[in-house]
């Protein structure tokens, strides 16, 4: 395999071997502590414009499967692993072949443990680049690169599309939608219509939905246009609403509760989460770059329902007056534990109760 290097904006170089695409790429470097589910993570649009470091040392030993994609076109900028399994240019099911097909570069044979320790020690977001040679020109290009803060506009669907079934009508607002959300709604027979992120409340209500889901997605919630916040404020007062991931952060902003950037992003399946009402501990997939402090919650409007035990961040909210709630984590369990899966049942139950009124 040809040589490859991961360079960081602080001047650090990690040398390794190339797999996947030979392309040069730039992105924010983050790490994920998940032990399984590399395919779902690579195809999750929450990683748009990011280079992901896997702390699990062996990635790609299991072949790519056709039924677990989280998006059709992955937008991840690079994959960093200790050992890449199944390096076979002729195996259409290998991770190497998949990355080549989607022009995503990868690097293997590096000390990912040392890399993660270094990223933690920096304590701030770090840009990086995957390059064939770590020379002065490569660092000049990296330092000159400006990463967009309009990730949602780049990954959201440009046009509405249906995911039909025979149950209650649900509108999903696409901020960078995971297919796992659609799978869970389909298992509950929901008749889903997916709409672009910048849709208006009036356009949503023309479809007469029984409920609305705000999807997960990438980027800074403060970079979203103010019309999206206005849409959420109108919708939460009209129909049941369930917000996930970035949707949780936008739901908070719509209710005068602000979030802040974490010094180090948290990504993994092994994050302990406490449900406030029961003190029950669950585990779920987390991809968190922004957090809500307990002191920031507008308690005139919102209850705190879940907290992250690693960061003490508020990762679950419920409106005091409307049938609307949110979680920072992914309840669809794709990949990861399905402890939080009943949240979809809770949402569908709200739709059923509203229909009976």
Q: What pLDDT score was predicted for residue 357? A: 56
Q: What pLDDT score was predicted for residue 70? A: 96
* Percent of the chain scoring above 70 in pLDDT: 98
Reported as a single tens digit per residue, the pLDDT across 154-196 is 999 999 999 999 999 999 999 999 999 999 999 999 999 999 9
Find, among 93, 31, 33, the residue nearest to 60 by Cα: 93
Q: Are 177 and 332 in contact (CB under 8 A)?
A: no
Reported as a single tens digit per residue, the pLDDT across 53-70 is 999 999 998 889 988 999
* Average pLDDT estimate for 260-271: 91
Buried b (16+ CB within 10 A) or exposed e, 284-316: bbbbbbbbbeeeebeeebbebbbbbeebebbbb
Q: What pLDDT score was predicted for residue 85? A: 81
Q: What pLDDT score was predicted for residue 231? A: 98
Q: Which domains are assigned to the chain? A: 3-144 (3.50.30.20), 151-355 (3.40.50.880)
Reported as a single tens digit per residue, the pLDDT across 119-137 is 999 999 999 999 999 999 9
Residue 116 has pLDDT above 70, yes or no: yes
Encoded tokens for 276: 């406030």
Please state, in angstroms and as integers, the Cα–Cα distance from residue 59 to each residue in 33, 54, 80, 240, 252, following that order.
12, 8, 9, 40, 36
Encoded tokens for 151: 């990730």
Name the band, by pLDDT with cuts 50, 70 and 90, for residue 118: very high
Q: What pLDDT score was predicted for residue 355? A: 66
Reported as a single tens digit per residue, the pLDDT across 220-240 is 999 999 999 999 999 999 999
Q: Taken in order 322, 261, 270, 298, is the CA torsion positive or negative?
A: negative
**Beta pairing, strands 13-20 & 78-80:** unpaired
Q: What pLDDT score was predicted for residue 238? A: 96
Q: What pLDDT score was predicted for residue 354? A: 72
For residue 56, give every residue at least 6 positions away whose Cβ sits within 8 Å of its Cβ, in sequence order, or none: 33, 34, 35, 36, 38
Q: What letter does residue 351 receive in the DSSP assignment?
A: H
Orientation of helix 342-356 relative to helix 179-187, angle to 10°: 50
Query: What's the CA gap between 100 and 23, in Å, rounded?
Result: 9
* Average pLDDT estimate for 139-159: 95
């Amino acid at each position: 395999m040809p040589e490859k290097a991961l360079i960081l904006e602080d001047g650090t170089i990690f040398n390794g071997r190339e797999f996947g695409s030979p392309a040069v790429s730039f992105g924010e470097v983050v790490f994920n502590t998940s032990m399984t589910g590399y395919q779902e993570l690579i195809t999750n649009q929450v990683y748009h414009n990011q280079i992901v470091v896997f702390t699990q040392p062996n990635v790609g030993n299991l072949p790519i499967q056709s039924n677990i994609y989280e998006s059709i076109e992955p937008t991840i900028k690079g994959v960093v692993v200790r050992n890449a399994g199944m390096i076979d240019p002729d195996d259409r099911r290998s991770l190497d072949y998949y990355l080549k097909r989607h022009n995503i570069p990868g690097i293997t044979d590096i000390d990912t443990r040392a890399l993660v320790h270094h990223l933690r020690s920096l304590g701030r977001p770090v840009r990086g680049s995957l390059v064939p040679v770590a020379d002065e020109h490569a660092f000049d290009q990296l330092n000159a690169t400006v990463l967009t803060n309009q990730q949602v506009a780049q990954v959201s669907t440009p046009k509405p599309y249906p995911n039909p079934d025979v149950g209650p009508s649900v509108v999903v607002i696409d901020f960078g939608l995971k297919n796992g959300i659609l799978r869970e709604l389909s298992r509950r027979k929901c008749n889903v219509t997916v709409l672009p992120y910048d849709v208006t409340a009036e356009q949503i209500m023309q479809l007469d939905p029984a409920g609305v889901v705000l999807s997960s997605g990438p980027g800074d919630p403060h970079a979203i246009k103010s019309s999206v916040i206005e849409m959420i404020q109108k919708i939460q007062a009209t129909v049941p609403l369930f917000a996930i991931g970035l949707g949780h952060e936008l739901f908070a902003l719509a209710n005068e509760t602000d979030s802040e950037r974490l010094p180090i992003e948290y990504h993994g399946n092994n994050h302990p989460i406490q449900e406030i009402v029961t003190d029950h501990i669950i585990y779920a997939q987390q991809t968190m770059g922004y957090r809500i402090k307990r002191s920031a919650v507008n308690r005139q409007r919102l209850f705190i329902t879940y907290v992250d035990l690693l960061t003490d961040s508020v990762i679950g909210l419920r409106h005091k007056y409307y049938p609307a709630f949110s979680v920072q984590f992914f309840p669809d369990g794709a990949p990861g534990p399905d402890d939080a899966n009943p949240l979809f049942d809770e949402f569908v139950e709200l739709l059923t109760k509203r229909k009976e009124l």
